């Protein structure tokens, strides 16, 4: 963001805002840390950085941490006591009218509600209105550049390779008549990631039968189930190249540990797959028409499709999430009209998942693709699952 101050100022002026006020205290606002390039620095006091729509940016930092900050464009002001902080903040904000912060009214988008209520009150007491920076953050911090897009594409290829290795492991064990387990499948994926130079923030999800009916189940020694012939296996795996700016790939595939799935499993899979493809088509049509498409609208189309087929109450999470570099859940628009009503637009340069699911007591199905919204429309790297994988020997 610091390399694009002039562009930020032009955007703020076009929105009729006085400025963008970045704030953090001890890492509570990772968005601000990312914007300022503060990774790995020891900062234990409050700081503010104002990018005004017009004029010179101002950093307000505690006197003992002035030397801990990297060089930033604009003026640097220091404070020590709380009264000085208040006076300097009032001076910096005077006459701006409104500033954007990582705040959302009523906590509507908690992923961007990162400035505490007391600090928002402090800023308002300085005579300015506080509005959400959500779309500004998305525009300047969440859209992928060409290097990041390519890193995502490479990660997709490698994550799919890890998925194929895991399914191959299960098939071999079934052929040998020696059941494997959820933990062993997870370990196969972890080793594949290591060998391919990928990193992840958490081991993958390998879930059998009723465990697949729990969207965030994670196998451990106490709960890991064997994978036997006739079981249904859900595999959700995500990873990225080992570089700070590299972008995650995140996919979910389904497999039947046998010649075929049951009729019930196949019916649910078909519904989830078709709902996923409908979500992608909604994005494709909107982009081709040049119309604004918001995250909630894609979720609503997918959700209504599943509900019309009798499983609305079994689809208990949003349709998709933003994908970035810091984790596979980024700060951009989510495909969500359930957990939140996300009105942020899906704009060119964003990467996000589409991953509907149906979760029953005895099994669950989820199918996940990653979508990169390019200038000529949405792209999905590595392919998407069309049929249930059969792992029969």
* Residues whose CB falls within 8 Å of the CB of residue 22, separated by 6 or more in sequence, listed in order: 29, 32, 35, 36, 48, 49, 50, 51, 101, 102
Predicted confidence (pLDDT) at residue 228 exceeds the cutoff of 70: yes
Residues 84, 98 within the same domain: yes
Number of domain units in the chain: 2
Q: Which whole-number Å values give the CA distances from 216 to 228, 288, 378, 379, in the listed order?
A: 22, 35, 27, 27
Residues 168, 317 within the same domain: yes
> For 236-291, how does the pLDDT look when each residue is reduced to its tens digit (9 = 90+)?
999 999 999 999 999 999 999 988 899 999 999 999 999 999 999 999 999 999 99
Residues 79, 61 within the same domain: yes
Nearest-angstrom CA–CA distance, 143 and 124: 30
Domain boundary among 100, 125, 141: 141
Residues 343, 285 within the same domain: yes
Residues 157, 132 within the same domain: no
Residues 111, 33 within the same domain: yes
CATH of the domain at 211: 3.90.230.10
DSSP element (H, E) containing 258: none
Residues 73, 13 within the same domain: yes
Q: Closest Cα partner for 315 from 279, 346, 351?
A: 279
Domain boundary among 81, 112, 141: 141
Residues 230, 349 within the same domain: yes
Residues 163, 285 within the same domain: yes
Predicted confidence (pLDDT) at residue 121 exceeds the cutoff of 70: yes
Nearest-angstrom CA–CA distance, 219 and 238: 15
**Per-residue confidence band for 1, with pLDDT thresholds at 50, 70 and 90:** low
**Per-residue confidence band for 149, with pLDDT thresholds at 50, 70 and 90:** very high
How long a stretch of residues is the chain?
Answer: 393
Residues 92, 158 within the same domain: no
Q: Which two tokens stand for residue 81?
A: 């006591």
Domain boundary among 141, 168, 203: 141
> For 179-200, how does the pLDDT look when each residue is reduced to its tens digit (9 = 90+)?
899 999 999 999 999 999 999 9
Residues 173, 321 within the same domain: yes
CATH of the domain at 59: 3.40.350.10
Predicted confidence (pLDDT) at residue 58 exceeds the cutoff of 80: yes
The strand pairing partners of 132, in sequence order, are 101
Whether 323 and 352 have beta carbons less than 8 Å apart is answered as: yes
Residue located via tokens 């801990």: 68
Residues 153, 294 within the same domain: yes
Range of the domain at 9: 2-141
* Residues whose CB falls within 8 Å of the CB of residue 95, separated by 6 or more in sequence, listed in order: 18
Instruction: Output b/e per residue, 133-144; b: 16+ Cβ within 10 A.
Output: bbbbbbbbbbbb
Average pLDDT, the chain: 95
* Residues whose CB falls within 8 Å of the CB of residue 100, separated by 6 or more in sequence, listed in order: 12, 15, 17, 19, 20, 21, 130, 131, 132, 133, 136
Q: Judging by DSSP bridges, how do beta strands 98-101 and 129-132 pair with one another?
A: parallel
What percentage of the chain has pLDDT greater than the value 70? 99
Q: Closest Cα partner for 370 from 357, 359, 383, 358?
A: 383
> For 157-182, how does the pLDDT look when each residue is reduced to its tens digit (9 = 90+)?
999 999 999 999 999 999 999 989 99
Q: Closest Cα partner for 51 from 70, 71, 35?
A: 35
């Amino acid at each position: 963001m610091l390399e694009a101050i002039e562009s930020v100022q032009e955007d703020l002026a076009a929105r009729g805002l006085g400025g963008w006020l970045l704030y953090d205290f001890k890492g509570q606002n990772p968005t601000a840390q990312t914007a300022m390039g503060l990774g790995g620095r020891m900062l234990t006091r409050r700081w503010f950085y104002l990018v005004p729509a017009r004029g010179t940016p101002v950093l307000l930092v505690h006197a003992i941490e002035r030397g801990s900050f990297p060089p930033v464009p604009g003026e640097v002001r220091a404070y020590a006591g709380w009264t000085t902080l208040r006076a300097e903040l009032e001076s910096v904000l005077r006459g701006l009218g409104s500033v954007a912060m990582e705040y959302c009214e009523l906590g509507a988008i908690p992923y961007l509600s990162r400035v505490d209520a007391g600090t928002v009150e402090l800023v308002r007491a300085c005579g300015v209105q506080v509005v959400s920076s959500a779309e500004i953050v998305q525009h300047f911090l969440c859209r992928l550049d060409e290097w990041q897009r390519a890193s995502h594409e490479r990660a997709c290829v490698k994550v799919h390779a890890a998925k194929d290795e895991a399914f191959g492991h299960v098939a071999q064990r079934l052929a040998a008549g020696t059941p494997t387990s959820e933990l062993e499948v997870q370990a196969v994926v972890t080793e594949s990631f290591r060998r391919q130079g990928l990193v992840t923030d958490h081991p993958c999800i390998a879930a059998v039968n009723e465990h697949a009916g729990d969207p965030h189940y994670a196998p451990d020694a106490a709960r890991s189930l064997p994978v036997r012939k006739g079981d249904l296996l859900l595999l959700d795996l995500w990873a990225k190249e080992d570089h700070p700016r590299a972008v995650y790939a995140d996919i979910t595939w389904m497999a039947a540990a046998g010649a075929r799935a049951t009729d019930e499993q196949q019916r649910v899979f078909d519904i989830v797959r078709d709902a996923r493809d409908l979500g992608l088509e909604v994005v494709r049509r909107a982009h081709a028409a040049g119309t604004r498409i918001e995250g909630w609208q894609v979720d609503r189309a997918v959700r209504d499709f599943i509900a019309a087929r009798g499983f609305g109450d079994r689809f208990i999470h949003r349709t998709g999430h933003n994908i970035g570099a810091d984790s596979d859940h980024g700060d951009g628009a989510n495909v969500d009209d359930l957990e939140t009503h996300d009105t942020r637009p899906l704009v060119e340069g964003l990467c996000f998942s589409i991953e509907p699911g149906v979760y029953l007591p005895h099994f669950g199905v989820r199918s996940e693709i990653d979508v990169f919204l390019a200038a000529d429309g949405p792209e999905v790297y590595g392919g998407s699952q069309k049929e249930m994988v059969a792992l029969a020997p």
